[in-house]
Structure 1
Amino acid sequence: MCTALAASAQISKGSSYLGGNAGFRMSTTRPDNGDKTTLTLFNLSPSMGFAYKENRVWGLLLSYGNSTSKTGNDKYSSNSYGIGAFLRQYQPLGKGCYLFAQESLVFYYNNGKSNSANSSKDNTYNTGLSLSPGFAYDISKKFQLELLLNGLLYANYGHNKVEQSGGVIREASNLSAGSSLSNLSQVNAINIGARFAFGR
């Protein structure tokens, strides 16, 4: 789900937006031979935006995510935290409909822990740029529904370190770029929800 804000015919200069998005996913796989695996994902991303000119918005966002995977007696859990900024450009289509493009720069930190036989913990730092298109519809002057295709194009840099009781067992950096078109089934690929507007 998503929350945010709206206008009547335009996103007017001087208005402000309060919103964000949230997602939840649970899946279970059971191979023919072996223990079943249960995966639970949750994410929450509040945001605030400010219209610096007509149909143009800049804003700040925070994010938190949690994932847990269980296979038999083995369990892996992780928490992620993010902070970033975005720009959004709206193109009115008439009758309260808009197309928009959103560019984001976000920094993430993730820590994970495994309680398997080889208990370990890992820390990941990641910085990402992304371009996300979307569609919005005015329900009223203060309330807007939207659909966002998260990270249609993206570029990321990350650093990961994995440790066990004996010390660091792996440390690596990576640079990647691509598109989310091949990952539309993922929990964070498509966000659907609404926005609230102030000062309109």
Structure 2
Amino acid sequence: MRKLFTLITIAVFTSSSIYAQISKGSILLGGGIGYNSQENKQEGSTIETKTSNFYVSPAIGIAVKENLIVGGDLSFSNQMQENGSNETTNKYYGAGIYMRRYLPIANRFYIFGQGRFGANIFDGETTQGTDYISTNKGYNVNVGIYPGISFQVNKKLHLETGFNNLVYVQYENGKIKTQSLGNMSNVTSKSFSVNSSLNNMSGLYVGFRLLLAR
């Protein structure tokens, strides 16, 4: 029985490695998309808080060696929060370069790890009725890593999921302009942070890749 189990295990992983390798020179096209929405209402209150986040990122990469991809991407994110007469919106436009390593684990299944360096410009606005408005504009640069799982639907299509920016380091520089009851103020903010998307699960995404084999 032990010998039979060993032979089956070897056969599965040998066949998967033969079938599932991404050959050097292959091109990957695709991207990721994510959305989440929440509604919260405190007991005894008529005010409901609504939050939503939409994210899309087209990407392209090339296999510089077997199962190792180097490429670039563009990204757009739109975040909104409403709480009674208060409303906050944030938009991010970004670009980045990445390196991804695939590891075949079974027939048509991979796990992968990705590292990425990126930069974003952002534009945010917060309003509270008609008496208060605040804008926040600036940029950030970040380095992040995350794991994922990929399934090879056919020879060209891969579906994947993972935690975008599972761990990331970020520097941000922004200018905040506030107008309240006729008074104006301007503040420059700079920050450095280490974050994880597991804090609120907002980093979970679903994506795809089209494999153009060499």
TM-score (norm 1): 0.87
Task: State how far apart, in whole Å, the 2-side matches of 1:44 and 1:194 are.
Answer: 12
Shift of 1:199: 3.5
Shift of 1:20: 0.7
1:90 aligned onto 2:102: yes
177, 182, 188: which one aligns with 1:171: 188
1:162 aligned onto 2:179: no
Aligned ranges 1:161-200 → 2 under 5 Å: 161-165=175-179, 166-184=183-201, 186=202, 189-200=203-214
Report the RMSD for the aligned CA atoms in angstroms. 1.9
1:44 aligned onto 2:61: no
Aligned ranges 1:130-169 → 2 under 5 Å: 130-165=144-179, 166-169=183-186
Q: Which has the higher helix share?
A: 2
The count of residues paired between Structure 1 and Structure 2 equals 191
Q: Which moved more, 1:55-64 or 1:24-33?
A: 24-33
Larger Rg: 2
Unaligned runs of 5+ residues in structure 1 are 1-6
28, 41, 45: which one aligns with 2:39: 28
12, 19, 29: which one aligns with 2:30: 19
Identity of aligned residues (%): 30
Shift of 1:34: 5.2
Q: Which moved more, 1:106-115 or 1:68-77?
A: 68-77
Matched-pair contact (CA < 8 Å) for 1:98–1:136? yes
Matched-pair contact (CA < 8 Å) for 1:8–1:140? no
Matched-pair contact (CA < 8 Å) for 2:23–2:213? no
The 1:181/1:170 distance shift into structure 2, 3 A limit, reads same
Query: One-letter code of the match for 1:61?
Result: D
Query: One-letter code of the match for 2:198?
Result: L
Task: State how far apart, in whole Å, the 2-side matches of 1:119 and 1:182 are.
Answer: 29
77, 80, 89: which one aligns with 1:65: 77
Give the secondary-structure state (helix, strand or coil) at the position aligned to 2:170.
strand
- 1:157-199 alpha-carbon deviations (Å, 9 max, x no partner): 1112210245444322111124333332x2xx11223211113
- 1:73-99 alpha-carbon deviations (Å, 9 max, x no partner): 222222110110000011122312212
TM-score (norm 2): 0.81
Task: State how far apart, in whole Å, the 1-side matches of 2:124 and 2:195 are.
Answer: 25
The 1:106/1:136 distance shift into structure 2, 3 A limit, reads same
Larger RCO: Structure 1 or Structure 2 (Cα < 8 Å, ≥ 6 residues apart)? 1
The 1:177/1:37 distance shift into structure 2, 3 A limit, reads same
